Amino acid sequence: MDRPRTWAIIFDGRCPLCVRSMVFLDYADVRKNLELVDLEAQWGRVASIAPGLTRDRALHVMHVVTPEGAVLGGFSAFKELTRALPLLRPFALLTHAPFANRIGPRIYQLIADRRGRLPCGVEGCLVREDGVGNLPSHADKPRAR
């Protein structure tokens, strides 16, 4: 298994909600600790960092691969990100509360079950024909001095 140096987020690049979430997480990643991996455009990378993850499961919920190589999905993945990203730490109070493990997965699943996907070829598709997503890269961001 090829472990990421940092946290890797495996997401559906054809899901508008997922892509918007990745744009937000990319900007929240002030320490540049995230690798955003579009499962549609980069399945080889997904297979190398999360070899047991099936395409069907990856399409169903977001997954995070920790620097130690653990693969977490759904609410557990989001919960991990609240510890990894300083700007999400206020959410850690909720995700680590005693009731969170009962309620959090249900809420996450409700959202995941209702998210949409855009078919390729549709105008506005978030993955171009060449398989490259339209996510901003860290290089596109102005750096704080």
Q: For 29-74, how does the pLDDT look when each residue is reduced to its tens digit (9 = 90+)?
A: 988 989 999 999 999 999 999 999 999 999 989 999 999 999 999 9
pLDDT the model gives residue 29: 92
Domain boundaries, given as residue ranges, for the chain: 7-127
Element (DSSP H or E) covering residue 37: strand 34-38
* Model pTM above 0.95: no
Contact of 14 with 118, CB cutoff 8 Å: yes
3: which residues sit within 8 A by CB, 6+ positions away?
49, 65, 67, 68, 69
Q: Dump pLDDT digits (tens) for 91-111.
A: 888 888 889 989 988 988 888
